Each structure stands twice: as C-alpha cells, then as structure tokens.
C-alpha cells in the first residue's frame, strides 16, 4: 500500500493541468491537494458508475484530453511526449478494433445486443473508461506503454514485413482503381 501511496504522491508533484488546478484549489480552500485529488477521483468513479451522461464523460476523457495533450506534444520541442501520445493512439485504435471484432463474435450469443444496449442506457461505460485512464497514466506504469512494449511491439516486429507487403499491394490496387476512375471521368 505504501508503494501505491508513493506513486500517488509523485503523480501529484508533476506539473500538468490537473496538478496546477489542485494546487490552486488547495491555496483557496486550505484542503490538502491529496484529499482533493482522492475526492475528485472518488466522485468521478461514482459518476461513471451511476451518473447520467457517463458515456459523454468517458468520451471526453478518452478523446478530448488525449487530443489536447497530443497537440501540446506536437507543439513542444521534446520528442518524448510525442512518443507517449502516439503510443496512446496506437493502443486506443487497436482497442477499438478489438472491440469491434469482439462485438461481431459476441453478437452470435442470444440477447448480447440487448444487454449491451441496456448497459449503455444505464450509463455503465466504466470498464472502457477505466481502460482509457489506465492508458493515460503518466510514468513508467503507463498502460499504453506497457501494452505496446509487451504485446503490440512483439507482434509488429514478428509480422511487419508481411503487413508491409499487403499494404503495398493494397495501395497499388487503390492507385490503379483511382487512375481508372480518373481516366473514365475524363473520357466522359
């Protein structure tokens, strides 16, 4: 438990938008920023479980903040933050792809979509939102970094030549189709 507390303390010492807001609130209210962060995390978790509009909040967490942080990374001179957010987007896109295919497989089970729609209506996207937050955690235990290093990178290194060949063939076919459409369009 002390290790988790130390990580939490280090996280609160970093300089970013959230910690600056916590420092300002601490200065105004006199309440320690650790308690403010723990309270905000608890309220956010409860809202994601029971609140109305939780899917919107989950999308804000999963899209808006990473997009904002990505723009800041692009505009900064450092390459490290670019790598962090590129890794996040790679993991996020593969997660979305895996979710799509799992939906295709699970849709064969009776009442799957009824259960999924009911869960979405009752605003329970918490596992997805939790996964996205895990992928954004700063530091060496960043979920996107861990998943990339342990799963995605080894698979990529093993299969990238075959995928490159397929992509080269597909792009050649796409160029041929586009040239044919352009040629037929000009002849009209």
Domain ranges of the chain: 1-50, 53-152
Q: What's the distance, Cα to Cα, between the start and end of the chain in Å?
A: 73
Q: Which residue has the higher pLDDT, 162 or 17?
A: 162
DSSP string computed for 1-32: -HHHHHHHHHHHHS-SHHHHHHHHHHHHH---
The model's pTM: 0.60
Task: Give the C-alpha separation, 14 to 35, whole Å.
Answer: 16
Q: Which residues contact 145 (CB under 8 A, 6 or more apart)?
A: 84, 87
Query: Which of 47, 65, 60 lies closest to 126, judged by CA?
Result: 47
Task: Give the pLDDT of residue 157.
Answer: 93
pLDDT tens profile 110-159: 655 545 555 555 545 556 777 888 888 887 788 999 999 999 999 999 99
């Amino acid at each position: 438990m002390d290790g988790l507390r130390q990580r939490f303390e280090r996280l609160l010492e970093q300089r970013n938008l959230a910690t600056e807001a916590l420092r300002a609130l601490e200065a105004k209210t006199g309440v320690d920023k650790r308690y403010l962060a723990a309270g905000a995390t608890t309220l956010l978790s409860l809202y994601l479980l029971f609140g109305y509009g939780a899917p919107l909040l989950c999308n804000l967490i999963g899209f808006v903040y990473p997009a904002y942080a990505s723009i800041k990374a692009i505009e900064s001179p450092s390459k490290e933050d670019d790598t962090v957010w590129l890794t996040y987007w790679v993991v996020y896109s593969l997660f979305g792809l895996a979710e799509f295919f799992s939906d295709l497989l699970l849709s064969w089970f009776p009442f799957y979509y009824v259960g999924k729609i009911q869960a979405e209506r009752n605003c329970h996207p918490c596992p997805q939102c939790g996964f996205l937050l895990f992928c954004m955690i700063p530091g060496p235990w960043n979920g996107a970094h861990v998943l990339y290093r342990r799963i995605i990178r080894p698979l990529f290194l093993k299969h990238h030549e075959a995928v490159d060949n397929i992509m080269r063939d597909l792009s050649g076919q796409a160029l041929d189709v586009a040239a044919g459409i352009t040629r037929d369009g000009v002849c009209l």
